Amino acid sequence: MPTYHYNHEPCTCMKIYKVRHGMNDKPEIRCPECDKVLDRMVSAPNLSLGGYTSPTEAKYAKLSESDEIAREKELQKTYETIWLPEDVKHPPDWYDH
């Protein structure tokens, strides 16, 4: 099942939400903080091109390691990425069965 990214512009919450749903589904995803309807963002497909294992690796291939780390730190200051629905939390004895 594909993963889609949602946010709203102008985004005052500064969050990007990741949601998994079918390609033909048209869910109305709402921001849990401000209750506005979120817009689906256009994002890179999850493909392996040019011998790279991910689009992110290809994107950063020409950057030095220190430049890559600096760029990621800057992006992480701006937006927080959250999965919707939130992760399932199992009771502590879940794996003991």
pLDDT tens for the chain, 97 residues: list them: 678 888 877 666 778 888 888 888 888 988 888 888 888 887 666 555 567 666 667 777 777 888 878 877 776 666 777 888 766 666 767 766 5
Residue 6: Cβ-neighbour burial (10 angstroms; 0-12, 13-18, 19+): buried
User: Which DSSP symbol is given to 9?
Assistant: S
Whole-number pLDDT of residue 46 = 57
The pLDDT of residue 44 is 61
